[in-house]
Structure 1
Amino acid sequence: MAGPGAATDAPVLVVTRLDDATADLVITELQQRNVPVVRLDPGDFPDRLRLNAFLGGQGMSGSVLTDTRSADLAGVRSVYWRRPTPYAAGPGQAERWCGDQARYGLGGVLAALPGAHYVNHPWHNRDAEYKPVQLATAARCALRIPPTLITNEPAEARRFVMKYRPVLYKPLWNSDYTGPDDRPLTVWVDDVAPDTLDAGVARTAHLFQQRLDKTADVRLTVVGKRGFAVRIDSPGLDWRRTYDRNSYTLIDTPPDVTKAVRAYMDTFGLVYGAFDFGIDRAGLWWMYECNPNGQWAWFPGHITAPITDALADQLQHPGEHCEH
């Protein structure tokens, strides 16, 4: 991790796709601070992205170049790793081979930039994306989690639902999914009835979780040592389905949750994390999951502004955990 003395003309590397409005906010803030930014998408390699990396006794040197920007590999201040598109790979064997070489070549270089401060390092993002690992780590860090079952056995799923009802079904990963008309579909969080758990459960792993008797949801966005807890009051079970009808209020985070979240972040080596909680009728916070690269720009402006500032602070001043 680079220290506070990083060169003021060293660029911030933003690794993301073209249509990333969240990254746009941070880039605009950095530019207003006169911090140089180089934006690139690994999915553009090799057609619109070029790489020259030399490794020897002095470490790594070289450059990465887009059509309009270039970055010295040894001089990158920070990396904001957002949502790049997949490495290009066609259907043929040769194309797949080239795609793998790009992933392990360019991807390996971008993950090993000397002295760069990552928000977050892509391998830390990857490690923290698995919901079973999230829940097991949360429990070890003294965060409350609802009773949860991951199974592919219909009988076990039915027993769990009967014991802990009401029970929710949640996808373990938000895969791309389309209907018969090729329209994209979303698998929402929803209630589960025992009689709906048929032989289809056996086809893959499923996550079932006791539904909390909650008064509200909370999205806690953590940037370094700063946390932005937003109470979400929603008319529906899954607040992602009712963005325009939700109300959003900044609230304080209980000290025990702050301490446990810090331990969780440290376990995975995260600088940024988007935690989802429910608040029960006793006022206790229960963690559902943590997206290490979760969205936040959909909040109202008075909430997105301080998160934007916190991320810009992290990227502009690597190695410093800014508290205001």
Structure 2
Amino acid sequence: MTDSRPVLVVTSLHDPTADVVIGELNERDVPVLRFDSGDFPASLSVQAEITQDGLRGHVRTASRTAELDQVRAVYYRRPTGFAFPHLADQDARFAVTQARYGLGGVLASLPGYLYVNHPHRIGDAEFKPSGLAAAVQAGFLVPPTLITSRPEAARAFVERYEHVIYKPLHNPVYRLDGVASVVEIAEVAAEDIDDGVAGTAHLFQVRVAKTADVRVTVIGSRIYCVRIDSDLLDWRSDYTRLRYTPITPPAAIESALHNYVNHFGLVFGAFDFCISQDGRWWFLECNPCGQWYWLEPETGLPMCAALADLLERRT
């Protein structure tokens, strides 16, 4: 019997990674309903009734409808935020809050469905301090890290460890001359620390003398591990200088990966490590909505098929 239950794909209009996954699901004749929660309420509506029999209702786009109790899985990627520019400021704040807790609450409450990943679990895992603390508990090596708003603490940390890098705790997009930009990771010296540090929270971390970086993508029970060789501090700064090699992670790393995703309740994670000169793997971060598809053409690793298997509920 054909399974007509759709996969809900919640993401922005411009998401090439979601595009390839949807293409794979279409080839398998798996129904898909894609929408951006930021389209609410202009071209997206919700109707949900909570009764003793559970949650019933539907979400509806301009062209399709999905019954909330007939969803196969939810692929929650990168939706845009709610916006009500036609309303006055106070009314807009009220409307955004109602949309977040109304539509957002419904999308987070679908009973018994697979989420990749659940939006609340994404929210938990996106806090870098939580991720680093969980990484230690999971069994990873984590470079000494300081989170502070005190210039004197930052300066003392840099003087103690000498080779220290600055990382943003989260990376909102800046627009410089109309071009989207982000704050890059950079090494800092003690003389770079000034009173501006007191303006907000900052993350400083000991720089590991590395021989390579590693991106590990966890998709359900499957692990795809790629060594990334370059001469860059942050390999994301220039993809043209990267060389990729599929590798097998050490058994201890594989075990810690499972510990980490179980801690946060994730079924997908994009992990970054660096390998030090003595061969040890150091945990840097895990992005619960990280990019991964660019590695598939470079390595031949079947990650898109694995994610489609997960959403189709083959695994």
Q: What range describes the TM-score normalised by the shorter chain of this pair?
A: over 0.9
Mapped pair 1:103 → 2:113? no
Name the CA distance, whole Å, in 1 between partners of 2:19 and 2:180: 25
Offset, 1:115 = 2.5
2:208 corresponding residue in structure 1: 212
For 2:267, the equivalent position in structure 1 comes to 271
- Give the fraction of aligned pairs with identical amino acids, expressed as a percent: 51
- Corresponding position of 1:87: 82
Per the alignment, residue 251 of structure 2 pairs with 255
Task: State the partner residue of 1:283.
Answer: 279
Q: What's the offset of the Cα at 1:178?
A: 3.3
Distance 1:38 1:304 in 2: 28
In structure 2, the partner of 1:39 is: 34
1:312 to 301, 308, 311: 308
Q: Structure 2 CA distance, aligned partners of 1:267 and 1:7?
A: 35
Deviation at 1:302, TM superposition (A): 5.0
Please give the per-residue CA displacement for 1:142-169, whole angstroms capped at 9, x wherever unaligned: 1000011111111111111111121100
Report Cα offsets for 1:251-274 as digits up to 9, x if no partner: 111100000110010000000001
- Output the CA distance in 2 between the equivalents of 1:289 and 1:272: 14
Alpha-carbon RMSD:
1.5
Unaligned 5+ residue runs, structure 2?
Answer: none
Q: Deviations over 1:263-317 (max 9, x none)?
A: 0100000000011000011211100110111011222515475111111011001
Q: Which runs of 4+ in 1 moved over 4 A?
A: none
d(CA) in 2 for partners of 1:221, 1:166: 28
How many residues align structurally? 313
1:48 aligns with 2:50: no
Aligned-partner SS, 1:178: strand
Matching of residues 156-171 of structure 1 within 5 Å: 156-171=153-168
In the TM superposition, residue 100 of structure 1 has moved relative to its aligned partner by 1.1
The structural deviation recorded for 1:111 is 0.7
> Aligned partners of 1:119, 1:50: CA distance in 2, in Å?
22
Any conservation in 2 of the 1:42–1:86 contact (CA below 8 Å)?
A: yes
1:224 aligns with 220
Residue 80 of structure 1: SS of its match in structure 2?
strand
Output the CA distance in 2 between the equivalents of 1:74 and 1:303: 38
TM-score w.r.t. length of structure 2: 0.96
Q: Cα distance, 1:182 vs. partner?
A: 4.8
Letter in 2 for 1:196: D
The answer (yes or no) to whether the contact 2:296–2:302 under 8 Å persists in 1 is: no
Alpha-carbon spacing, 1:304–1:199, altered in 2? closer, same or farther (3 Å): farther
**Greater shift after overlay, 267-276 or 47-56?**
47-56
Query: What amino acid is the match of 1:248?
Result: Y
Cα distance in structure 2, aligned partners of 1:110 and 1:294: 21
